[in-house]
Structure 1
Amino acid sequence: MPDFILNTDDNVYIPAEDSYLLAENLEIKEGQSVLEIGTGSGIVAMYASRLTDRITVTDINFDACELARKNFEANNIENIEILFGNLFEPVKNRKFDVILFNTPYLPTEEGDVIDSNLNYAFDGGLDGRKVIDLFLNEVGNHLNDGGIVQMIQSSFSDNDLTLSRLDELGFIAEIKAKEHFFFEDITLINAYKI
């Protein structure tokens, strides 16, 4: 995969194995519209920009929006719209062909929460599903028929529950790829809207 110039910021998630698991398995066709929730540094969107020129990214962390803008400029990428806000708030009434999300999937207790915007990147609440469930509740409203959702989560945040929720919502969902680390599997779930 082509390398990019990548600036980082202490308040923004630094791309790790989960970011690249998503970036290396993108299912995007030329001309499709793409929404990435929680773009962080913008690395996944930069890979997506090689496949289509209709990309919108959102992040609840303003520092991430600024960092992504800086990274897109550093790599001469001009086809990505950056919107600040939580989940689907910035794209009300819009639909996309592909929706990407490296979810904040870590189960966190009160003592795990950090006082920084970086907290948004990993804080999944007590069961790791706080943001995942909010995302699943809305994702169908923003996906075109025949579209795909590609999301990263962890075995710590109950992959089976995500798969069954997607099934209930009318998607065909599968674990497309996974990587094992210490005590957990990081998984890429692909869900197709029929």
Structure 2
Amino acid sequence: MADFIINTDDNVYIPAEDSYLLADNLEIEKGQSVLEIGTGSGVVAMYASRLTDRITVTDINFDACGLARKNFEENNIENIEILFGNLFEPVKNRKFDVILFNTPYLPTEEGEVLEDTINYAFDGGINGRKVIDMFLNEVGNHLNDGGTVQLIQSSLSGNDETLTRLDELGFIAEIKASEHFFFEDITLINAYKI
């Protein structure tokens, strides 16, 4: 699958099964505007760039923004806007047709928190939902009517809780794909704004 040049950095999440679960199942139509939260190395956005030319990515990790820029340049991808910041802060008053997010979904105890910026990539707080819930609370404000949200999370961070919350927010949501690993399922949840 990796037919892009993908540089990595010790401070940035290295693309793994969850990245490709999202990249393999993108639901993006030509001309749609796309926002990817937490782009990391930029690999998902690179696959999205084959489907549309209106892409914005954000990351709270400054190293990730730099690495994504390098990866886009080395793959001659020029249609992706890179913004530094947490979740939707960099796109305050903007709306998109598709929003993508490979969430930091690992339940993380206080003693497991790392001092490095790589911590942003996986630290989901005690129950794995710290960032997921912040994302869900805001996502509807940044999605056009009829838009789609695609997010990756783990069964350890409460799939049913996410589906219920999306339902309460007026979305039609479903688990679109999943992969089983040792002690968890990594799931792709698709939600459609009615």
- TM-score w.r.t. the length of structure 1 is 0.99
How much does 1:2 deviate?
A: 6.0
Matched AA of 1:145: D
Aligned match of 2:25: 25
Superposed, which structure 2 residues align to 1:14-53 within 5 Å? 14-53=14-53
| Alpha-carbon distance between aligned partners in 2 of 1:76 and 1:31, rounded to the nearest angstrom | 19
Amino acid in the other structure paired with 2:169: L
Q: Distance in 1 between matches of 2:189 and 2:111?
A: 29
2:83 matched to which residue of 1? 83
Q: Which amino acid aligns with 1:160?
A: D
Q: Distance in 2 between matches of 1:29 and 1:141?
A: 21
> 2: CA distance between counterparts of 1:180 and 1:187?
9
1:142 alignment partner AA: H
Say yes or no: does 1:98 pair with 2:94: no
Where in structure 2 are there 5+ consecutive unaligned residues? none
Letter in 2 for 1:88: F
Cα distance in 2 between the residues matched to 1:128 and 1:121: 12
Match of 1:9 in 2: 9
- Name the counterpart of 1:112: 112
CA distance in 2, matches of 1:115, 1:151: 26
- What value does the CA root-mean-square deviation take over the aligned residues? 0.6
**Residue of structure 1 in register with 2:70 after alignment:** 70
1:118 aligns to what SS in structure 2? helix
State the Cα distance separating 1:111 from its structure 2 match.
1.0
Unaligned regions of 5+ residues in structure 1, if any? none
Partner of 2:159: 159
Amino acid at match of 2:152: I
Q: Which runs of 4+ in 1 moved over 3 A?
A: none
SS in structure 2 of the partner of residue 190 of structure 1: strand
Counterpart check, 1:61 vs 2:61: yes
Alpha-carbon displacement from aligned partner over 1:31-52 (angstroms, at most 9, x marks no partner)? 0000000000000000000000
Q: Percent identity?
A: 88
- Whole-angstrom distance in 1 between the partners of 2:90 and 2:177: 29
Q: Quick one: distance in 2 between partners of 1:2 and 1:115?
A: 30
Distance 1:46 1:164 in 2: 31
Shift of 1:79: 0.1
How far apart, CA to CA, are the structure 2 residues paired with 1:113 and 1:23? Answer: 27
For this pair of structures, how many residues does the alignment match? 194
Paired with 1:112 and 1:25, the residues of 2 have a C-alpha distance of: 31
1:86-129 Cα deviation digits (max 9, x unpaired)? 00000001000000000000000011111100000000000000
The letter of the residue matching 1:179 is: E
> Which residue is equivalent to 2:142?
142
* Structure 2 CA distance for aligned equivalents of residues 81 and 173 of structure 1: 28
